[in-house]
Amino acid sequence: MIDEKLEAAHAEVLRRNPGEAEFHQAVREVLECVGPVIAKRPELAREKIIQRICEPERQLIFRVPWQDDRGEVQINRGFRVEFNSALGPFKGGLRFHPSVNLGIVKFLGFEQTFKNALTGMPIGGAKGGADFDPKGRSDDEIMRFCQSFMTELYRHIGEHTDVPAGDIGVGTREIGFLFGQYKRITNRYESGVLTGKGVAWGGALVRTEATGYGIAYFVDEMLRVRGETIAGKTCVVSGSGNVAIYAIDKIHQLGGHVVACSDSDGVVFDPYGIDLAVLRQVKEAERRRMSDYIAYRPRATLRAPGSIWQIPCQIALPCATQNELDGRDAAMLIENGVLAVAEGANMPATPEAVRAFLTAGVAFGPGKAANAGGVATSALEMQQNASRDSWTFEYTEKRLAAIMAKIHALCFETAERFGSPGNYVMGANITSFERVATTMVALGLT
Ligand code: NDP
């Protein structure tokens, strides 16, 4: 429920942003949590912090023309939503997927603002991307698209202004093409302008693994306060991209047993445990489909998409995309005895699913907190770039683990302080909102 004092601001967001369902959903979740903060701090209402925090500082939409391998001209639409720079330069990934539109980029940028605040690092929030489908495209086509995208984006970004990174469809290959074009146009080797770079050209060790590893650390923390551990638990992970692969990796390292993962064509169930080496070979090296995984693993089977949450497990990690786990899926997971659910993707659980998990007492880690390890490690990459240094894998991973433990502790303590023990959704939203709002007040009317 949204506090009645926030109803008018909420109605205004809906009116000003028609048809942007995902953005509405993300705003609603935050507003449902922050009523008690507004009640305690009247200056936030006076300064219209809710209204300002829900309005991006800047929104860019641009044409991305490029030529495919047959010489045909293709036109895509590029986006960058610079949501909030109170805490530092805008920071957030780029998504290349046919579903990308302004509403999706705004929801992601809004979420990113709070997630970045939770990390405690000096970074604001942004998100961007294009309705470009990289599937089936050659390396040359990907390069031409990235070069055209950056030919417009370069004028809006910079290490002190806005620092993009990867997201769905954007990995080290794409960041390489984007960085190369930025360097060429600006005549500057400005490492800190993008994160997720290759290690040879300014990238940080652990960035590739960071989001997935961070999720496993967060789950470990949630289970620990309940007297449990990951060791010996059965786990299901949706998706098979960057986040999913390294969540599986760390869950295995911590003694868990991941039996299923997926892509948009289907779900692979591997009763002996997902073989990480095979998964990485198929998805990272060969850029093929999960259906190709079963050729290497005779006992593994392929199921229809969408059915992954029917597989009984104690830990469920949705790591693919928004709204991929609904109320029915949650009911099924609860019936099958799930103990912990952590959002690897951004907003993968629908509001009905989140409510069901909280009501059933399942340990539920919202994406803002559970998947913040990726952007936190991006901020560590920026630190290394600024000091022209490069840290070891062990040191960087230790920093990541400490950041995730701190985020967990903050969310846990805040939830208790506001009378909702164990509710990490409340904890994450209130902690991050307070940080952004307090700084916005300090910076005056901007
Ligand atoms: P990738 O592009 O590497 O992988 C995405 C994976 O999700 C692919 O396996 C893809 O399958 C699958 N997927 C996408 N849409 C669907 C769908 N509708 N149904 C089933 N599977 C689907 O992206 P990432 O791993 O980087 O990102 C995954 C999620 O994590 C996103 O929500 C992203 O915003 C979030 N995130 C990512 C971070 C990062 O550091 N990369 C940081 C924090 C959050 P297919 O190939 O068939 O499309």
| pLDDT of res. 120 | 97
| pLDDT of res. 304 | 82
How many Cβ atoms from other residues are within 10 Å of residue 179's Cβ?
23
Residues 210-361, CATH architecture: 3-Layer(aba) Sandwich (3.40)
Distance, CA 167 to ligand 1 centroid (Å)? 7
| pLDDT of res. 394 | 98
| Same fold across 58-190 and 210-361 | yes
Distance from C-alpha of 319 to C-alpha of 342, rounded to nearest angstrom: 9
Q: Which atom of ligand 1 is nearest to the CA of 371?
A: 43
pTM of the model: 0.97
Distance, CA 143 to ligand 1 centroid (Å)? 21
Please name the residue that has the structure tokens 């709204």: 323
Q: Which two tokens stand for residue 215?
A: 């999720």
Does the active-site annotation cover 127?
yes
Distance, CA 262 to ligand 1 centroid (Å)? 10
Distance, CA 239 to ligand 1 centroid (Å)? 6
Q: For residue range 71-85, what is the model confidence (pLDDT) as tens digits?
A: 999 999 999 999 999
Residue nearest to atom 47 of ligand 1 (CA): 264
| pLDDT of res. 306 | 73
Distance from C-alpha of 162 to C-alpha of 336, rounded to nearest angstrom: 44
Distance from C-alpha of 249 to C-alpha of 256, rounded to nearest angstrom: 10
| pLDDT of res. 305 | 77
Which among 167, 194, 245 is the best mutation to test ligand 1's pocket, defined by most ligand atoms within 8 Å of the CB?
A: 167
Which residue among the candidates 106, 115, 127, 250 is catalytic per the annotation? 127
* Closest C-alpha among 303, 320, 319 to residue 311: 303
CATH topology of domain 58-190: Rossmann fold (3.40.50)
Q: Which atom of ligand 1 is nearest to the CA of 348?
A: 32
Q: Which residues, given as ranges, of the chain have pLDDT below 50?
A: none
Residues with CB under 6 A from ligand 1: 166-169, 211, 239-244, 262-265, 305, 319-321, 324, 344-346, 371, 374
Distance from C-alpha of 194 to C-alpha of 62, rounded to nearest angstrom: 19
| pLDDT of res. 307 | 86
Report yes or no: 296 and 274 within 8 Å, Cβ to Cβ. no
Q: Which two tokens stand for residue 232?
A: 């010996």
Residue nearest to atom 30 of ligand 1 (CA): 345
Instruction: Please state the domain extents for the chain.
Output: 4-53, 58-190, 210-361
DSSP for residue 156: G
